[in-house]
Amino acid sequence: MYDIKAYYEAESVEEAARLLAEKPNLKLIAGGTDVLIKMHGGQLEEAELLSLRKIKSLENIHVRDDGTVAIGAMATFSVIFHNAMLKKLIPVLTEAAVSMGGPQIRNIATIGGNVCNGATSADSASSLFALNARLKLQDEKGERVVPIREFYLGPGKVALNPGEILTEILIAPEDYLGFGGQYIKFAMREAMDIATLGVAAVCKVENGNFAEVRIGLGVAGPTPLRCLEAEEYARGKKITAETLKEIGKLAVRSTKARTSWRASKEYREHLVEELTQRALKTAVVNAGGAEVV
Ligand SMILES: Cc1cc2nc3c(=O)[nH]c(=O)nc-3n(C[C@H](O)[C@H](O)[C@H](O)COP(=O)(O)OP(=O)(O)OC[C@H]3O[C@@H](n4cnc5c(N)ncnc54)[C@H](O)[C@@H]3O)c2cc1C
């Protein structure tokens, strides 16, 4: 059922990076909620697994001296949801965290695994896109930092080089301070389900105008994406129902939705137009603006 040929555990990132360099066949496993499903489904045979679960430094969540929020790749969704600092500074991410899976899955699934799995439906992705998150990757030779928008290459495909480990997710102060946000997960049922569409909107408000808007979408294309045309339109505009309507319409133009058994392309586009407006409406209030009626 689980075709495991070998299993290794590293106690530090350096040890994990060394093992990956020595044994290129190793497959990283964090919470295992995607890896084990793949093994169970026969997509991963004779697996040689390298577990990151003993690397406690990867669970760390803190604010650096320069105000950058750093979230360890092994932080689980439960830990993220209950983290008081994240709730205060970046609630759009904690909302996404609690919308993910059910309690048992959230207790074991990690944010690093969610990102590295490369799914457009990943519940963390829309918020991380809207927050301009950057990813710290480490291998035996050193580190590099990649914007999340450059990391997702296609369905299930990410820009991890062989031997690399995602260690931290970074959110710079200019990307969250003063912003209000909202994440909406639209799924076909109330109970645990994969998103039919995920929308994260963050905005900054000045004198009743949008100073900045960022919109991240999941399942609106083969990878999570940003609605740059709508964001550009919004900059400096008075916050009214008409402006929100136009932003919703323009958001659809950035999508590459497709028909699947969950929903048709047209239905997904309708959701993008409608839910972008709803998310932004709440984001405005969370950013200290007046409610749009
Ligand atoms: C019942 C069920 C419900 C689910 N519901 C949801 C849901 O509502 N929303 C949602 O978004 N997802 C959902 N998922 C999918 C899954 O739980 C998430 O994608 C989860 O975040 C994966 O994290 P993990 O730690 O379990 O990753 P793993 O399964 O351990 O790994 C996933 C992938 O990432 C790689 N990887 C893991 N960590 C690292 C790292 N630090 N560096 C480099 N590569 C790494 C692994 O090699 C693997 O390719 C669900 C899964 C199940 C089984």
- Mapping DSSP to helix (H, G, I), strand (E, B) and coil, where does residue 126 land? helix
Q: Which helix (H) or strand (E) holds 158?
A: strand 157-158
pTM above 0.75, yes or no: yes
* CATH number of this structure's domain 4-51: 3.30.43
For the chain, which residues make up each domain, given as ranges? Answer: 4-51, 58-172, 180-286
Query: Is it the case that residue 188 has pLDDT exceeding 90?
Result: no
CATH topology of domain 58-172: 3.30.465
pLDDT in tens, 107-165: 999 999 999 999 999 999 999 999 999 999 999 999 999 999 999 999 999 999 999 99
The domain covering 180-286 belongs, at the CATH homologous superfamily level, to: CO dehydrogenase flavoprotein, C-terminal domain (3.30.390.50)
Query: Residue 192's pLDDT is what?
Result: 76
The predicted structure's pLDDT at residue 70: 98
The Å distance, Cα 48 to ligand 1 centre, comes to 17
Give the Cα separation of 149 and 216 in Å (integer).
10
Q: What is the mean pLDDT of the chain?
A: 96
Please work out whether the CB of residue 20 comes within 6 Å of at least one atom of ligand 1: no
Pocket flag, ligand 1, residue 187 (CB < 6 Å): no
Give dist(CA 165, CA 117) in Å, integer.
Answer: 12
Distance 256 CA to ligand 1 centre (A): 24
pLDDT for the residue 190: 73
- In whole angstroms, how far apart are CA 288 and each of 87, 183, 205? 17, 17, 7
Question: Do the two domains 4-51 and 58-172 of this chain adopt the same fold?
Answer: no
**112 C-alpha to ligand 1 centroid (Å):** 8
Amino acid making up residue 220: A
